[in-house]
Amino acid sequence: MSSSTPAALQARNLSVRYGATQAIDRLSLTVPAGCIYALLGGNGAGKSTTLSVFLGFVQPSAGEVHAGGTRIDQRPRSARGLVSYLPENVALYPYLTGLENLRYFAALAGLRLSTADASARLTQAGLQADAHAVRTQAYSKGMRQKVGLAIAYAKGAIAMLLDEPTSGLDPAATNDFSAHLKRAAQNGMGILMATHDLFNAIQVADRIGIMRAGRLVSEFDKHSISHAELEAAYLAQARELP
């Protein structure tokens, strides 16, 4: 990313307060285009709140967040067109096929997809062709996630937010989905994922941050840290060791 190109996602001195609770405390992080950023932290660390602010669902108490240079809190509708969200459990209409779900959600975003276009997006996301016309009630979690990834492709999102994307996946499905995330990043998408999965974080992410009590307390380039070192750093923060 050149210095003149806006980051896919950026938080600047972001704070979120709920009454007496400081959910996010002066968080600054940058996810360049083509980067996968893994955000680690225990329950209550602020990961999900961070994603909610980037989605425009939670307003900052201070600071600002941007998607591709668009300030999300000031232009939420424009920003939502740039960002896609993949929750831990992708909610699809079970009696619709993968194709029908994709075309429906694309229509909600103001996009008209032909069956051929929708099928191409599902294939791009890694869903096998013989599953495109199958009702999603028969889909595994990994297959539903691929429909979610296809929705991001269809809307032309420059950034994607993921919440515990590998929770409940077996190792083969985790490796398969991670490969498609890497491909999305190679195509220029910036990806921010909140996760507890240290092993997958160091396998798939380009940068890794650790949150505690709403603050980004550590940040690493994946080439600068081993799995054992990352685990030690994570546990130290979880135990509030120096």
pLDDT of residue 4: 58
- The answer to whether the CB of 57 falls within 8 A of the CB of 225 is no
**What pLDDT, on a 0 to 100 scale, did the predictor assign at position 242?**
42
Checking if the pLDDT of 235 tops 90, the result is no
- Measure the CA–CA gap between 128 and 200, rounded to whole angstroms: 23
Q: What is the DSSP letter of 181?
A: H
Strand order in the sheet with 207-212: 83-86, 159-163, 190-195, 36-40, 207-212, 215-221
DSSP notation for 219-233: EEEGGG--HHHHHHH
Q: Averaged over 3-15, what is the pLDDT?
A: 86
Q: Which helix (H) or strand (E) holds 68?
A: none
CA dist., res. 97 & res. 103, Å (int):
10
Q: Identify the weakest region by mean pLDDT among 45-54, 90-99, 199-208, 231-240.
A: 231-240
Q: 196-224: per-residue pLDDT in tens?
A: 888 888 889 999 999 999 999 999 998 88
CB neighbours of 43 closer than 8 A, spacing ≥ 6? none
163-192: pLDDT as tens digits: 988 888 888 888 888 998 999 999 999 999
pLDDT at 44: 86
Domain boundaries, the chain: 1-82+197-242
Helix and strand numbers, DSSP H then E, in the chain: 8, 10
pLDDT reading at 51 higher than 80: yes
What integer pLDDT is reported at residue 199 of this predicted model?
85
Q: Which residue has the tokens 């490969």?
A: 179
Alpha-helical (H) ranges within 1-155 are 47-54, 76-80, 98-108, 115-124, 141-154
Give the right CATH number for 1-82+197-242 from 3.10.50.30, 1.10.3720.10, 3.40.50.2000, 3.40.50.300.
3.40.50.300
Separation of CA 151 from chain center: 13
Residues of 22-55 as b/e, b for ≥16 C-beta within 10 angstroms? bbbbebebbbbbbbbbbbbbeeebbbbbbbbbbb
Cα 118 to Cα 192: distance, rounded to the nearest angstrom:
25
* pLDDT, mean over the chain: 89
- Give me the pLDDT at residue 240, please: 62
pLDDT band at 77 (very low <50, low <70, confident <90, very high): confident
Give, for 203, the enclosing helix (H) or strand (E). helix 198-204
Strands 62-67 and 70-71: antiparallel
Cβ atoms 41, 47 nearer than 8 A: yes
Model confidence over 92-143: pLDDT tens digits?
999 999 999 999 999 988 889 999 999 999 999 999 999 999 999 999 999 9
